[in-house]
Structure 1
Amino acid sequence: MWREIEPDQTIHVDIGGHKVVAYSFGQGDETVFCLNGGPGLPCDYLRDAHSCLIDEGYRVVAFDQLGTGSSERPTDPSLWTISRYVEETEKVRTALGLGKVHLLGHSWGGWLAIEYALTHPDALKTLILEDTAADLPLLARELERLRGALGPETVAMMLAHEADGTLDHPEYQAAITILNYRHVCRLREWPAPINRSLADWNMGPYGTMQGPNEFLYIGNLKDWDRSQDLPKIEVPALITVGQHDEITTVCAAQMKRGLKNAELHVFPNSSHMPFYEEPAAYYPALLGFLAKHRG
């Protein structure tokens, strides 16, 4: 089960003249390399949910992506592209001497993991895609469906605010809050690592790449779609998703159909954070997959 653990090592890596900070836990021969969501979030929430894998003999590595957490925070929007983050991920992997890894990507980190797997296939032992998608136009349609459940009047209100650029209006923010508690984390009290990451969110990368919130994709990733390229990924894959996830089971099923060697776990009482919402089901699924592909 998750708990907050101090890293055994904190490593600074130079990425194109900027400092990126990585965190390493444990000394195992098998490495779980974590790519967190956002964009623009520190890695705390995903790092603290997975550092406990050291109990099973794994090494766990996470890093604050450029622009987040303890890493440098340049303001040049040209830096906020998925291709640059792919090369950043590769430089962290090689700088730390990780060899082949079990690559675990959550949410935006899953898009990054898919792009990385297609670019650097020889770096992977397995691919773990958590609460994510391979097709953002499909996801955008699914998000419209989810917010449609708020009712036509609320949807009309949200569309009007989006057209007017008044996304900070209290009634619009109230609707986003409802969606977050339905589809991002359904716990009454959100765990400290989630709150810590959210409190330090850099909206520069997020707004440039995704958009102003979790339910409006208008950034430079809005047309990203690797669904037709999934058959090129040869390594075993695990897909996990919450039944109530903002990145829906429809998106997960599409990835399952596209990948050659994938298994899918749906957590019935979770949304976007099964490792916090449903840990008694989540960790056995993850550890069972990893155990099958050790060595």
Structure 2
Amino acid sequence: MALTPSAKGTVPFREFRTWYRVTGELHRGRPALVAVHGGPGATHDYLVGLAAFAEHGWPVVHYDQLGNGGSTHLPERGADFWTVRLFLDELDNLLERLGIADGYVLFGQSWGGMLAARHAADRPPGLRGLVVANAPASYRLWLEEMEVLRARLPPGVNETLLRHEAAGTTASEEYQTAMMVFYDKHVCRLDPWPREYLATLMETSNDPTVYHAMNGPSEFHVIGTLKDWSVTGVLPDIDVPTLVISGRHDEATPRTVRPYHDLIPGARWEIFEDSSHAPHLEEPDRFGTLMLDFLGGLDTTATEG
């Protein structure tokens, strides 16, 4: 039986608030596993299953990044406000406010994986391990691979997408329907989609401010401020044990993920053969076994004392 969250609330961040939830007990042995969700502009909901690791002695921290979920919404802010530095600062603030900056593990998924890697490259002394799940190392690589994946869609689908992207009508029902063909193949292959995954999609749809500003109208049409962002150049600076995860059918293709494996010293890369962009939902048993194996191999003596 999953543990009941032991604490939740918000912490101040600048003049805003960051929502968080803790499952398990902090400061009672093993370092916290902090879940950094994707998007940008999504929520923690689709990663809620990570709370199960608290049953194995790893307290788990979920949070909603600024702009969505339980954190402060700022629909009036323009693209210049929503920066990578903003979200790095928010993560640093959360770690300090929860008193776990001296001992924690990061699990970053999709955009959250890039954010977590960039955080890790600064070599924070309390970071004990890093999991980069389904994350490209470069948005330029991502966009190149999107063209490859889109070209393989059923006849007519990509043509529909391209027509609406050129016309600026990506909110149309026809575009949304064509978009789902891609999502069903490369984002989540489960049918039906899990409730926690749908919850995140609904939250993002309810307030797409951050997603539209930094990403764009869809996973594969990145025209926001992140379109040229990459963490490739800082990956060699990461000096903690790193597990890299991706799915065989992932929109984060092997070409976009490989830099993590090749450039982070000693990084381990595991591909889930029956998954796309959400192995934690698509192959939960293997995911749980792999995570516990990785976590069990970390040096946590500085935290456990």
Q: What's the CA shift for 1:228? A: 2.3
Amino acid across the alignment from 1:154: V
Alignment length, in residue pairs? Answer: 292
CA contact (8 A) 1:210 1:220 kept: yes
CA contact (8 A) 1:121 1:233 kept: no
Q: Which position in structure 2 is the counterpart of 1:284? A: 289
Q: Secondary structure at the match of 1:58?
A: coil
Q: Which position in structure 2 is the counterpart of 1:194? A: 197
Q: What's the CA shift for 1:169? A: 2.9
Judge which range, 165-174 or 10-19, deviates more: 165-174
Instruction: Give the 3 Å change call, closer, same or farther, for CA 150–144 of structure 1 in structure 2.
Output: same
- Counterpart-to-counterpart distance in 2, 1:132 and 1:74: 26
- Counterpart-to-counterpart distance in 2, 1:4 and 1:57: 12
Q: What's the CA shift for 1:53? A: 0.1
Q: Which position in structure 1 is the counterpart of 2:274? A: 269
Q: Does 1:80 align with 2:91?
A: no
Q: Which position in structure 2 is the counterpart of 1:52? A: 52
Amino acid across the alignment from 1:239: V
CA contact (8 A) 1:102 1:126 kept: yes
- Counterpart-to-counterpart distance in 2, 1:226 and 1:72: 27
Q: Which position in structure 2 is the counterpart of 1:171? A: 174
Judge which range, 260-269 or 108-117, deviates more: 108-117
- Counterpart-to-counterpart distance in 2, 1:160 and 1:92: 42
Q: What's the CA shift for 1:230? A: 0.8
Q: What's the CA shift for 1:115? A: 1.6
- Counterpart-to-counterpart distance in 1, 2:123 and 2:18: 20
Q: What's the CA shift for 1:101? A: 1.1
- Counterpart-to-counterpart distance in 2, 1:144 and 1:130: 22
CA displacement 1:18-53 (0-9 Å, x = unmatched): 11111111125221011001111121111x120000
CA contact (8 A) 2:22 2:62 kept: yes
CA contact (8 A) 2:3 2:55 kept: no
Q: Which position in structure 1 is the counterpart of 2:20? A: 22
Q: Which position in structure 1 is the counterpart of 2:219? A: 214
Q: Does 1:260 align with 2:265?
A: yes
- Counterpart-to-counterpart distance in 1, 2:5 and 2:267: 31
- Counterpart-to-counterpart distance in 2, 1:125 and 1:291: 12
Q: Which runs of 5+ in 1 are unaligned?
A: none
Within-5 A mapping of 1:1-295:
6-27=4-25, 28-29=28-29, 30-46=31-47, 48-75=48-75, 76-77=77-78, 78-98=80-100, 99-150=102-153, 153-201=156-204, 202-295=207-300
Q: Which position in structure 1 is the counterpart of 2:303? A: none
Normalised TM-score (structure 1): 0.94
Q: What's the CA shift for 1:59? A: 0.7
Amino acid across the alignment from 2:110: S
Amino acid across the alignment from 2:33: V
CA contact (8 A) 2:122 2:238 kept: no
Judge which range, 26-35 or 123-132, deviates more: 26-35
Q: Secondary structure at the match of 1:63?
A: strand
Q: What's the CA shift for 1:152? A: 6.3
Q: What's the CA shift for 1:5? A: 5.5
Instruction: Give the 3 Å change call, closer, same or farther, for CA 4–41 of structure 1 in structure 2.
Output: farther
Instruction: Give the 3 Å change call, closer, same or farther, for CA 221–207 of structure 1 in structure 2.
Output: same
Amino acid across the alignment from 1:208: A
Q: What's the CA shift for 1:4? A: 6.8
Q: What's the CA shift for 1:156? A: 2.9
Instruction: Give the 3 Å change call, closer, same or farther, for CA 5–182 of structure 1 in structure 2.
Output: farther
Q: Secondary structure at the match of 1:91?
A: helix
Instruction: Give the 3 Å change call, closer, same or farther, for CA 120–63 of structure 1 in structure 2.
Output: farther
CA displacement 1:103-158 (0-9 Å, x = unmatched): 11001111111121123532311111001011110011111111110256432332
Amino acid across the alignment from 2:173: P
Amino acid across the alignment from 2:73: R
Instruction: Give the 3 Å change call, closer, same or farther, for CA 126–189 of structure 1 in structure 2.
Output: same
Normalised TM-score (structure 2): 0.91
